[in-house]
Chain A
Amino acid sequence: MNPQLLPDLHRFLPEMAITAALLLVVIVDISFERMRRSATFLVTVLGLVTAFALTLPLYWAPAGTLFYGMIAVDRVAVFFKGFLILSSFLVLLAAPGSRELAQRQLGEFYTLLLGATLGMMLLASSVDMLMVFLSLEMVSVSSYVMVGYLRNDRQSNEAALKYFLFGAVSTGAMLYGITLLFGLTGTTKMALIRDVLARGAGSGDNSLLLLVSTALILAGFGFKTAAVPFHFWCPDVYTGAPTPVTAFLSVAPKAAGFAALLRFFFTGMSETRGLFSQWSTFSSLNWTLLILILSIITMTLGNLAALRQDNMKRMLAYSSIAHAGYIFMGAVVLNSEGIQAVLIYLITYLFMNLGAFLVVIEVFNQTGSFDLKDYRGLWRRSPFLTISMTVFMLSLMGIPPCAGFFGKFFLFAAAVNHGLAWFAVVGALNSVVAVYYYARVIKTMIFEGGEDESRILVPIASQALIWIMILPTAGLAIFWEYIQRLTSESLRFFMGS
């Protein structure tokens, strides 16, 4: 056996746990007859918990690359691994409780979820373009099926088809861009790409090619993070997919896409000037400007479109597009402060967004509707749901002391410190615009009267899950120092710095 593989496997344990769980779920699903639902659920839960437990020690492991330079194990990767496992875990807990998925066998769903998680973990740690493409496709294909899981539902099918068509074209374009970069540099490893580019391969006549190939690669990342102009699939897919899947899509693949994008641009495409200070790009290519424009258009379009929506899922879809625009701010500000802001924002975003979707799931379970007008008078029907939704809406708005405020604060501060104060102002203005549609939800729930006055009883399990979301959302202020330290420590060993 190759002597390098064995120590590599020690640092690959979380992914191996997920794989083992995946295979076990398949076996359990076809073995048990009566206990199938609970058995597969249990295996998946155990798998994710084990993987999370195995991820923690990696935080203190020495940084390096695994498997001949395919994936990196540094603190940022460990952070994202933990983040992604946590998001999949929370979605997993929400899935069996939703009315949409109640009629269906869920064994395959868990398999797909685990497959997507594995892909995302690899995506967040890939440092070779082949690995990036492979893991991106793994996440995407699993997602296509999850979106179309309700075979008999027309909207679910349509959403899956649209998602697939758009996704396959975007990733195909990304692949073409990767091949151009391969031709330019002779390699697919990000670190080596950067070396070749630093020696001037991307200058002069070649800078145009570098621009084209980077733009194409950005198509794939833009698709995964639902940035404009690659966002067209987002509202339809979010609306048609089963809501637990929507919740999953809005957080996890987006985060993984951002992780890969950050890695690509920082490890592959920029020269670093000193640890932790300024990371600049190859001067012949001003794609910082490109991402800046992307960020502004994305957040603006997302917020403006959300104003007109009456369907909760569609509104949250555009809201998540807008939030992706904010997160891109961290990618524009090319330094450790920017990336730290992205990490903080993602943590807050995880809880507040999942929380909002959980409430949407509960309301659908009881009323069968996703329309805003059916949220009228929710205050009288279920104070619990109303208050929790209010907390999530306030956080999404960015109102202190909710978690969302901290995310935005760090992002805007990073922009200001980088000399882009006007950029932060644009972001702040966008947040103000966003207040309208988030506040509209609160107003509808509390101040409007509904026709149906029956009480809504929320099952204990769902209540507990929503509490898990509320606590960090409302109480992050208490722990913000810890979060700040966690994220800045995570940057310490970012490969490429």
Chain B
Amino acid sequence: MDKMILSQVVFYLFAAMTIIGACVVVFARSLIYSAFGLLFAFFGMAALYVFLGADFLAAAQLVIYVGGILILLLFGVMLTHKLYDLNLRTETYQFFPSLLVALAVFLTLLGVMMKTTWHNPGPLPQDPTTAEIGVLFMKDYILPFEIASIFLLVALIGAAMIVRRRA
């Protein structure tokens, strides 16, 4: 009983971390604050994946998103800025309509999703997923797996081509 309450509290903590992190991304004055907000959002997501029993995915999220994409974004921030350059929220004109749009989207999604009866075949057992994901990559999902590798190659070549110095 206590364990259940504790797990619920921890869940809400991580959920709050995720959402507050996302808010910081969107509302913060400085770009560095946004990047760190994103960091907390990603961490929170990984924790939520653990709650959902997706252990492999949680690890992948940490390794790739936090360890890769976030670092890349930070590099992007550093390389395109003088460090003292602040991103002030001067666009108050644009801000309010966008806020309304975002609120409308949120409320619509919430309303629609709460009313829906989702597909329900029964709960998924909480087994470690890594082995089965590995098998599925080689069976049902072999085509996307291979195509994703070609995709990464093409993206890599493209990105490198745009950025390199000499013609």
Question: Direct A–B touching in the complex (beta carbon < 8 Å)?
Answer: yes
- A residues contacting B by CB (< 8 A) are 2, 5, 19, 22, 26, 66-68, 70-71, 103-105, 108, 111-112, 115, 118-119, 122, 130-131, 134-135, 137-138, 141-142, 144-145, 148-149, 151, 160, 180, 183-186, 196, 201, 205-206, 208-209, 212
Q: Which of A2, A144, A185, A205 contacts B115 (CB 8 A)?
A: A205
Bound CA–CA A241/B113 (angstroms):
40
Minimum Cβ distance to chain B for residue A174 (Å): 15
Q: Which of B142, B157, B159, B167 contacts A26 (CB 8 A)?
A: B157
Top 8 A-B residue pairs of the complex, sorted by shortest distance between their CB atoms: A145-B158, A115-B154, A186-B119, A67-B143, A108-B161, A209-B116, A68-B140, A70-B143
A-B contact pairs, 26 of them (CB 8 A): A22-B150, A22-B153, A68-B142, A70-B141, A104-B167, A111-B157, A112-B157, A112-B158, A115-B153, A134-B151, A138-B147, A141-B158, A145-B161, A145-B162, A183-B119, A184-B118, A184-B119, A185-B119, A186-B119, A196-B119, A201-B119, A206-B115, A206-B117, A208-B116, A209-B116, A212-B109
**Residue B155 at the A interface, CB < 8 A?**
yes
- Tell me how many residues of B have a C-beta within 8 Å of chain A: 29
Please tell me if the beta carbons of A115 and B151 are within 8 angstroms of each other in the complex.
yes
Please tell me if the beta carbons of B118 and A183 are within 8 angstroms of each other in the complex.
yes
**Residue B64 at the A interface, CB < 8 A?**
no
Residues from chain A with a CB closer than 8 A to the CB of B151 are 115, 119, 134, 137-138, 141
Please tell me if the beta carbons of A105 and B154 are within 8 angstroms of each other in the complex.
no
Chain B residue nearest to A205 (CB atoms) is B115
Minimum Cβ distance to chain B for residue A103 (Å): 7
**Residue B108 at the A interface, CB < 8 A?**
yes
Chain B residue nearest to A118 (CB atoms) is B150
Bound CA–CA A465/B138 (angstroms):
44
Residues from chain A with a CB closer than 8 A to the CB of B119 are 183-186, 196, 201
Taken residue by residue from 111 to 135, chain B's Cβ proximity to chain A (1 for < 8 Å, 0 otherwise) reads as 0110111110100000000000000
Minimum Cβ distance to chain A for residue B145 (Å): 10
Bound CA–CA A185/B116 (angstroms):
12
Minimum Cβ distance to chain B for residue A2 (Å): 7
Please tell me if the beta carbons of B155 and A141 are within 8 angstroms of each other in the complex.
yes
Residues from chain A with a CB closer than 8 A to the CB of B148 are 134
- B residues contacting A by CB (< 8 A) are 108-109, 112-113, 115-119, 121, 139-144, 147-148, 150-151, 153-155, 157-159, 161-162, 167
Interface of A is mostly: helix
Chain A residue nearest to B160 (CB atoms) is A108
Bound CA–CA A149/B161 (angstroms):
8
Residues from chain B with a CB closer than 8 A to the CB of A118 are 147, 150
Total residue contacts A-B, CB cutoff 8 A: 100
Minimum Cβ distance to chain A for residue B49 (Å): 15
Please tell me if the beta carbons of A134 and B161 are within 8 angstroms of each other in the complex.
no
Please tell me if the beta carbons of A19 and B150 are within 8 angstroms of each other in the complex.
yes
Minimum Cβ distance to chain B for residue A167 (Å): 14
Chain A residue nearest to B138 (CB atoms) is A2
Residues from chain A with a CB closer than 8 A to the CB of B113 are 180, 209
Residues from chain A with a CB closer than 8 A to the CB of B115 are 205-206, 208-209
Please tell me if the beta carbons of A103 and B167 are within 8 angstroms of each other in the complex.
yes
Residues from chain A with a CB closer than 8 A to the CB of B158 are 108, 111-112, 141-142, 144-145
Residues from chain B with a CB closer than 8 A to the CB of A138 are 147, 150-151, 154
Please tell me if the beta carbons of A212 and B157 are within 8 angstroms of each other in the complex.
no
Q: Which of A2, A70, A148 contacts B162 (CB 8 A)?
A: A148
- Asked if A142 meets B154 with Cβ closer than 8 Å, knowing A70-B143, A212-B109, the reply is yes
Please tell me if the beta carbons of B144 and A134 are within 8 angstroms of each other in the complex.
yes
Residues from chain B with a CB closer than 8 A to the CB of A68 are 139-143
Bound CA–CA A283/B49 (angstroms):
37
- Asked if A2 meets B139 with Cβ closer than 8 Å, knowing A19-B150, A104-B167, A183-B119, the reply is yes
Please tell me if the beta carbons of B150 and A71 are within 8 angstroms of each other in the complex.
no
Bound CA–CA A118/B146 (angstroms):
12
Minimum Cβ distance to chain A for residue B116 (Å): 4
Please tell me if the beta carbons of B143 and A115 are within 8 angstroms of each other in the complex.
no
Bound CA–CA A119/B148 (angstroms):
10
Residues from chain A with a CB closer than 8 A to the CB of B143 are 66-68, 70-71, 131
Residues from chain A with a CB closer than 8 A to the CB of B116 are 183-184, 205-206, 208-209
Chain B residue nearest to A206 (CB atoms) is B116
Chain A residue nearest to B143 (CB atoms) is A67
Bound CA–CA A68/B153 (angstroms):
24
Minimum Cβ distance to chain A for residue B111 (Å): 8
Please tell me if the beta carbons of B118 and A130 are within 8 angstroms of each other in the complex.
no
Residues from chain B with a CB closer than 8 A to the CB of A196 are 119
